[in-house]
């Protein structure tokens, strides 16, 4: 064997070994990230990954206010309920009943968050405007059952079950609104593609993403500064194994092109976790009556805190328009 051929063989072997090592490293990283994304229990040593996912650090003063509002909301809840999901998992909710309700809100919280943290700040506004609210605990989190989080792919069916429960206790007498924040926003938007009860009058989405695939790609490429192309196939395989659906099997875009229920979309311009472009995509795709509120300077899930007045004005106008449509359809 001459020296030139020998160098080529050695070089090829080194390259192949390097590629194999890189592939193995990418697989292990993807497996760890998918556990953080989907598993009820995150890895024991997630390192810096979980703190980098959102792309920004929370403001300590704002987080303290959110924590206080969450505690106050918990103290007001008098009824905790349990139902079964379509696949037999236990779903837990907290019903805050209004004495003179005009509407009922089903509120879906975000990824690795809680109903009290995500809705404590806005709860008094809802209650003072004659809303009874069912604060759901998303599957795979907190007290609800399920080993995995589904990024809206499976939680959308839970929205339907909660709407059925609301109608059972109210006799379908009131308009229902599905409201969600972050992953909860994507959940309620995906639910719009289902055959929802006729008294679901509107859907309110605050900083939702378009699909698991799109948000994972954004986080990996923009917040973790890695190539999503190297890990997307493995991520999809793991996702399908855990929740029986791939990350790109369904999206808010798919749902909104079929949806007929009015939608309000809200997003902050400074969101580094879920880019505002995803809300613009949702708005463009929606074929039903739609409204959009963009809040300058608001980070992820911070629109209500940054501009409370604009947020409340827009929601009130949305309720008014939805209930005009709802009443006309029932006359």
Q: What is the pLDDT of residues 252-291, one digit of tens each?
A: 999 999 999 999 999 999 999 999 999 999 999 999 999 9
pLDDT score of 313 more than 80: yes
Contact 30, 37 (CB under 8 A): no
pLDDT over threshold 90, residue 55:
no
For residue 249, give every residue at least 6 positions away whose Cβ sits within 8 Å of its Cβ, in sequence order, or none: 153
Q: Strand pairing of 200-206 and 263-268? A: parallel
Nearest to 90 by CA among 16, 53, 143: 143
Q: What is the mean predicted confidence (pLDDT) over 217-246?
A: 94
Closest CA to 230 of 20, 5, 48, 23: 23
Confidence check: pLDDT of 17 > 60: no
Q: What is the pLDDT of residue 56?
A: 75
* 8-state DSSP, 6: H
Euclidean distance between CA atoms 30 and 16, whole angstroms: 21
| Distance in angstroms (rounded) separating the CA atoms of residues 185 and 328 | 27
Q: How far apart are CA 105 and CA 83, in angstroms?
A: 17
Rounded Cα distance between 222 and 55, Å, is 8
Q: Please state, rounded to an integer, the average pLDDT across all residues of the chain.
A: 91
pLDDT surpasses 80 at 4: no
* pLDDT: which is higher, 237 or 331: 237
Q: What is the pLDDT at residue 66?
A: 94
Which stretches within the chain are classed as H helix?
3-38, 49-52, 60-76, 115-119, 123-128, 155-170, 183-191, 212-218, 232-243, 252-256, 276-285, 303-306, 308-329
The 10s digit of each residue's pLDDT in 79-120 is: 999 999 999 999 999 999 999 999 999 999 999 999 999 999
Q: Sorting pLDDT into bands at 50, 70 and 90, what band is 20?
A: low
Kindly report the pTM of this predicted structure.
Answer: 0.91
Cα dist from 240 to 2, 34, 209, 228, 245, whole Å: 50, 11, 19, 17, 4
In whole angstroms, how far apart are CA 129 and each of 25, 74, 125? 53, 19, 6
**pLDDT the model gives residue 25:** 81
Average pLDDT (159-182) is 96
- pLDDT over 70 (residue 239): yes
Task: Label the pairing between strands 290-295 and 263-268.
Answer: parallel
Give percent above pLDDT 90 in the chain: 79
> For the segment 198-225, what is each residue's pLDDT rounded down to a tens digit?
999 999 999 999 999 999 999 999 999 9
DSSP 229-273: TTTHHHHHHHHHHHHSS-TTS--HHHHHTT--S-EEEEEETT-SS
- Tell the residue number behind the tokens 């604009």, with chain if given: 310
159 touches 167 (CB < 8 A):
no
Q: Tokens standing for 70?
A: 């969450």
Q: Which residues contact 275 (CB under 8 A, 6 or more apart)?
A: 218, 222
Q: What is the DSSP letter of 182?
A: T
Condensed to tens digits (0 to 9), the pLDDT of residues 131-140 reads: 999 999 999 9
Q: 186-199 pLDDT, tens per residue? A: 999 999 999 999 99
Residue 310 reports pLDDT greater than 80: yes
Q: Give 3-state DSSP helix, strand, coil % of the chain, rounded to 5.
A: 50, 15, 35
Reported confidence tier of residue 21, pLDDT bands at 50, 70, 90: low
At residue 286, the pLDDT reads 98
Decide if 300 contacts 308 (C-beta within 8 A).
no
Distance CA 125, CA 242 (A): 38
Nearest to 182 by CA among 316, 8, 298: 298
Instruction: State mean pLDDT over 48-53.
Output: 65
């Amino acid at each position: 064997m001459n020296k030139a051929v020998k160098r080529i063989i050695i070089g090829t072997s080194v390259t192949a070994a390097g590629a194999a090592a890189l592939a193995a490293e990418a697989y292990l990283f993807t497996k760890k990230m998918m556990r953080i994304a989907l598993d009820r229990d995150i890895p024991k040593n997630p390192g810096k990954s979980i703190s980098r996912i959102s792309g920004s650090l929370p403001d300590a003063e704002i987080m303290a206010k959110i924590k206080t509002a969450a505690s106050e909301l918990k103290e007001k809840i008098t009824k905790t309920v349990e139902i079964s999901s379509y696949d037999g998992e236990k779903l837990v909710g907290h019903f805050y009943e209004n004495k003179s309700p005009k509407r009922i809100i089903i509120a879906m919280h975000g990824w690795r968050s809680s109903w009290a943290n995500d809705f404590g700040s806005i709860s008094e506004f809802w209650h003072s405007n004659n809303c009874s609210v069912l604060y759901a605990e998303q599957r795979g989190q907190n007290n609800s059952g399920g080993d995995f989080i589904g990024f809206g792919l499976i939680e959308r069916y839970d929205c339907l079950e909660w709407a059925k429960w609301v109608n059972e206790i109210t006799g379908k007498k009131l308009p229902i609104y599905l409201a969600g924040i972050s992953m909860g926003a994507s959940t309620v938007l995906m639910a719009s593609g289902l055959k929802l009860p006729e008294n679901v009058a509107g859907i309110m989405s605050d900083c939702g993403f378009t699909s698991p695939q799109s948000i994972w790609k954004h986080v990996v490429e923009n917040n973790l500064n890695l190539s999503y192309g190297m890990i997307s196939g493995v991520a999809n395989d793991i996702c399908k194994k855990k929740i029986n659906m791939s990350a790109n099997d369904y999206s808010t875009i798919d749902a909104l092109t079929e949806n007929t229920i009015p939608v309000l979309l809200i997003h902050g311009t400074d969101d580094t976790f879920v880019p505002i472009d995803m809300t613009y995509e949702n708005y463009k795709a929606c074929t039903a009556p739609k409204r959009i509120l963009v809040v300058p300077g608001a980070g992820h899930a911070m629109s209500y805190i940054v501009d409370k007045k604009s947020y409340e004005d827009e929601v009130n106008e949305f309720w008014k328009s939805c209930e005009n449509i709802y009443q006309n359809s029932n006359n």
